[in-house]
């Protein structure tokens, strides 16, 4: 299947919202990024609608259509009947004028094709006596059955969709024409690509609106009145049934919207409990007026339904009905590419996720999967990672942090803004001679510590680091580090017992003081000895001087 939905990796924030909303879990997470699994995707567009980061985008076909317009062939647009809800106040005539300015040869309503399809459904009910008929107008439902319920493909109406029936009718009337379908659906791009030769290109309403804005074209506010337009009801829930006679005896007629509801109905059919039913199925809640390209920017279910109901007529379009063989559509089973894991592989992954007993399987759905077992299967298939389990990560983080808190030699104490003890570890209890943590939890810190340090940090908002304090009541020296967490409004105190360090420091100070005193005494004694020696040397030198002077005088007399 071509990739019509792509991911902008830089935008993906790994929030798992897309997998939570994906009805078939066709999204793989690896490397902290979401990846769409094309072989499993039914192109319902849920991931595109719910992504808060706009990480999913639809591959544009505008350039392809512009090439068709430049080819010289007449290009006719088939406009989905939900357009009246998307382009409020603009009927088919005003839309025709706007699209002709873009270069289209003509614009017609897909509702013409819907009338053809409705007529074929009525013929099948009257003539073929089928047990169950599931409408095949919605390509996402077709893909859902082809990929997930292959046994129910026999019930899928082998009839063209309104888009195909209308574009076939256009090409029958204008053999040289190129056809472009415009609607609120992503899956129609896949349908046009798979059944080639009928629809040459598909645009979403979003693509058309962007194109019109770039050309500064605004559809006129003008509503036309066409009584023969009952098929305009098709884009609403039960809209197909509204156009049908529903007069074949023995059949139950019902409309189901939303993939989850369709999933449940298909499971009922698979169980063999459903018979003689004509079932209108739509992947989108509200049917096509709740389509992904409308829902993202234009979600007004009641207002949109009223717009469609007011625009629809009371009679059918007057169209020639093709032979049943011309409307035939064939479906093939699309086998999943990912094999199912064994029970032992599933259990091994559950153990890795910390799920050792059934009671450990919370099935909370935060990872996006409905149960822990589904998540384990996805991990086995390479679609998910163990880290996507929030309770597992929470338990792991708490276990890790608890191990650190309990085994650190430093005391930890957490206070709220009222300076009440919220948490205290074993080391802190040992420092402050607390028998058990429960004795002080919820109590004012003043019961065990002088609150001055914590008060100053709370008032100033500035952290205190490495301040030494003597706790007289405990006869211990400690080093305080107090941090104020503004977001949680908590005071975190780290208390390091430095009593031994302080005693060692004081011991060293005493030794240093004693050493200085001894050195001073030695120096003083040495100075005294030096002075005595100098005094003796001075007396000796004087006597020598006198003796020499007398000797000199006696020698001079001779």
CA distance 205 to 184: 6
Which pLDDT does position 400 carry in this prediction? 59
Which pLDDT does position 287 carry in this prediction? 95
Which pLDDT does position 296 carry in this prediction? 47
Chain-centroid distance of CA 457 in Å reads: 38
Which pLDDT does position 557 carry in this prediction? 63
CA distance 291 to 134: 20
Contact by Cβ (8 Å): 265, 278: no
> What dihedral angle (degrees, nearest 10) is formed by the CA atoms of 265, 271, 272, 278?
10
Which pLDDT does position 519 carry in this prediction? 80
Instruction: Count the helices and strands in the chain (H runs, E runs).
Output: 20, 16
- The model's pLDDT over 101-112, given as tens digits with 9 standing for 90+, comes to 999 999 999 999
Which pLDDT does position 405 carry in this prediction? 73
- The model's pLDDT over 2-42, given as tens digits with 9 standing for 90+, comes to 578 777 776 787 788 888 889 999 888 877 788 888 889 99
Which pLDDT does position 90 carry in this prediction? 94
3-state secondary structure of 34: strand
Token couple for 27: 């999204």
Residue 80: name the closest of 171, 207, 174 by CA.
207
CA distance 55 to 11: 5
Which pLDDT does position 372 carry in this prediction? 83
Q: Which domains does the chain have, with CATH numbers?
A: 1-59 (3.30.70.20), 60-327 (no CATH), 338-407 (1.10.15), 408-497 (3.30.450.20)
Token couple for 313: 């007529």
DSSP H or E run through 421: strand 421-424
pLDDT in tens, the chain (558 residues): 557 877 777 678 778 888 888 999 988 887 778 888 888 999 999 988 888 888 888 999 999 999 999 999 999 999 999 999 999 999 999 999 999 999 999 999 999 999 999 999 999 999 998 999 999 999 999 999 999 999 999 999 999 999 999 999 999 999 999 999 999 999 999 999 999 999 999 999 999 999 999 999 999 999 998 999 999 999 999 999 999 999 999 999 999 999 999 999 999 999 999 999 999 999 999 999 999 988 445 568 899 999 999 999 999 999 999 999 999 999 999 987 677 888 888 888 888 777 888 777 777 767 778 788 888 888 888 787 776 766 666 666 556 566 777 778 888 899 998 999 988 888 889 888 888 888 888 899 999 998 888 999 988 888 888 888 888 888 888 898 999 988 878 899 999 888 888 788 888 888 888 888 888 888 888 888 888 887 787 777 777 777 777 777 777 665
Residue 339: count of CB within 10 angstroms of its CB = 8
Which pLDDT does position 33 carry in this prediction? 80
Which pLDDT does position 80 carry in this prediction? 97
248-281 burial, b for 16+ CB within 10 Å, e for fewer? beebebebbbbbeebbebbeebeeeebeebbbbb
CA distance 148 to 24: 9
pTM over 0.75: no
């Amino acid at each position: 299947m071509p990739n019509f939905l792509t991911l902008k990796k830089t935008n993906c924030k790994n929030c798992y919202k897309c997998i939570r909303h994906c009805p078939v879990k066709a999204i793989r997470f690896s490397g902290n990024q979401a990846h769409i699994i094309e072989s499993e995707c039914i192109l319902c567009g849920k991931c595109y609608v719910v992504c808060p980061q706009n990480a999913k985008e639809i591959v544009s076909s505008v350039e392809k259509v512009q090439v068709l317009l430049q080819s010289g062939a007449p290009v006719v647009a088939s406009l989905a009947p939900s357009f009246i809800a998307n382009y409020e106040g603009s009927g088919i005539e005003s839309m025709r004028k706007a699209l002709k300015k873009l270069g289209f040869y003509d614009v017609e309503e897909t509702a013409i094709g819907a009338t053809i399809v409705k007529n074929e459904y009525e013929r099948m009910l009257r003539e073929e006596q089928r047990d169950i008929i599931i409408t095949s107008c919605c390509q996402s439902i077709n893909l859902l059955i082809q990929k997930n319920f292959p046994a129910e493909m026999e019930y899928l109406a082998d009839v063209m969709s309104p888009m195909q029936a209308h574009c076939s009718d256009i090409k029958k009337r204008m053999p040289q024409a190129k056809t472009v379908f415009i609607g609120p659906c992503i899956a129609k791009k896949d349908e046009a690509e798979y059944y080639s030769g009928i629809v040459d290109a598909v645009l979403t309403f979003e693509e058309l609106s962007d194109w019109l804005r770039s050309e500064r074209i605004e559809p006129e506010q003008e509503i036309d009145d066409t009584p023969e337009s009952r098929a305009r009801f098709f884009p609403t829930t039960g809209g197909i049934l509204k156009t049908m006679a529903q007069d074949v005896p023995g059949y139950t007629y019902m409309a189901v919207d939303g993939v989850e509801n369709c999933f449940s109905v298909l499971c009922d059919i698979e169980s063999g409990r459903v018979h003689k039913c004509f079932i209108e199925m739509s992947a989108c809640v509200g049917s096509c007026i709740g389509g992904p390209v409308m829902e993202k920017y234009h979600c007004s279910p009641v207002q949109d339904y009223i717009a469609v109901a007011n625009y629809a007529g009371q009679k059918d379009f007057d169209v020639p009905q093709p032979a049943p063989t011309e409307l035939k559509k064939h479906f093939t089973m699309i086998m999943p590419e990912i094999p199912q894991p064994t029970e032992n592989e599933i259990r091994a992954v559950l153990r890795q996720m910390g799920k050792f007993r059934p009671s450990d399987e919370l099935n909370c759905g935060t990872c996006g999967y409905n149960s822990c077992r589904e998540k384990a299967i996805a991990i086995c298939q390479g679609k998910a990672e163990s880290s996507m389990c929030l309770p597992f990560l929470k338990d792991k983080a708490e276990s890790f942090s608890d191990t650190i808190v309990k085994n650190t030699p430093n005391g930890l104490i957490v206070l709220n803004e009222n300076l009440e003890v919220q948490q205290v570890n074993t080391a802190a209890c040992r420092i402050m001679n607390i028998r058990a943590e429960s004795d002080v939890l919820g109590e004012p810190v003043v019961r065990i510590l002088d609150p001055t340090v914590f008060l100053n940090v709370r008032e100033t908002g500035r952290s205190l680091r490495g301040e030494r304090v003597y706790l007289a009541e405990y006869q211990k020296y400690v080093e305080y580090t107090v941090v104020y967490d503004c977001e949680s409004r908590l005071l975190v105190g780290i208390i390091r017992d430095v009593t031994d360090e302080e005693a060692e420091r004081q011991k060293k100070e005493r030794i240093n003081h004693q050493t200085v005193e001894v050195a001073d005494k030695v120096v003083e004694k040495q100075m005294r000895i030096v002075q005595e020696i100098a005094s003796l040397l001075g007396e000796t030198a004087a006597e020598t001087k006198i003796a020499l002077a007398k000797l000199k005088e006696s020698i001079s007399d001779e």
